Amino acid sequence: MILKINGLVKNFKNESVLNDINYEFVSGNIYGILGRNGSGKSVLLKIISGLYKQDQGKVLFDEINYNDSNDFPKDVGISIEDPSFLNDLTGFDNLELLASIQNKIGKDDINKILDIVNLTEEKDKKYKKYSLGMKQKLSLAQAFMENPKVILLDEPFNGIDRISVDKIKNYLINLKKKDVLIIITTHIKDDIAGLCDVLLELEDGKIKNYEGSKE
């Protein structure tokens, strides 16, 4: 799987956020994208996942362009910022509801994923009673659960405790070995240090290799 981004441009009203992004992401790698607040990391991931539309340029998943037809890229798991689920359902029921859309997985798969993000104990709690970290874990769980070939994670470790983070990182490394393409954004380099194969930086609307990454 190759995710190719070609001449991507995105402006909001009077603000240019992404300005000619070109990059080729290759599966079997974990990419880290660093950038300060407001540099456009979330917008980039939303465009890749087809939630936002670029003004110019192309996003190609193995040469297939989903973005132009209001479609969504297949086999992509996404955890976007401020995760939000239905308040009155339990964590488990929320995942089940989402899984029912594509009907690819069953209860066992959901339980397996809940275990990976360390949320098994709280899976029968109502979402509205979740803490920040639990909400984030549930958001990761929905991104992982349907065995995607590409995983996009926006600030994935926000509010999650060290033990769980390590467990999730191990899981990601395992996925990478199974030829999954993983892209992680963060503004804290230490969050993803040691995890990523390639570190990139988003600055002034452009992607470049992170200066320190070659050391």
Which residues of this protein are in contact with ligand ATP, per CB under 6 A? 12, 15, 17, 35, 37-43, 81, 187
Picked from Mg ion, ligand ATP, another protein, none, the partner binding residue 82 (CB below 5 to 8 A depending on kind) is another protein
Number of residues engaging another protein in binding (CB under 8 A): 24
Q: CA-CA distance, 77 to 75, in Å (whole number)?
A: 7
- Could you say which residues in the range 145-174 bind Mg ion, by CB under 5 A? none
> Residue 73 contacts by C-beta under 8 Å, 6 or more apart in sequence?
48, 49, 50, 59, 61, 64, 66, 150
Picked from ligand ATP, Mg ion, another protein, none, the partner binding residue 102 (CB below 5 to 8 A depending on kind) is another protein
CA 71 to chain centre: 18
**The pair of three-digit structure tokens given for residue 40, joined into one six-digit string:** 């456009």
**CB nearer ligand ATP, residue 38 or residue 106:** 38
Nearest to 137 by CA among 160, 153, 155: 160
> Residue 12 contacts by C-beta under 8 Å, 6 or more apart in sequence?
none
Query: Is 42 near Mg ion (CB under 5 A)?
Result: yes
Query: Is 78 near another protein (CB under 8 A)?
Result: yes
| Burial letters 103-119, b for 16+ CB under 10 A, else e | eebeeebbeebbebbbb
Nearest to 45 by CA among 68, 73, 13: 73
- Could you say which residues in the range 28-67 bind another protein, by CB under 8 A? 46, 49-53
Picked from ligand ATP, another protein, Mg ion, none, the partner binding residue 98 (CB below 5 to 8 A depending on kind) is another protein
**CB nearer another protein, residue 86 or residue 193:** 86
Site of interaction with another protein (CB under 8 A): 46, 49-53, 70-72, 76-78, 80, 82-87, 98, 101-102, 142, 146
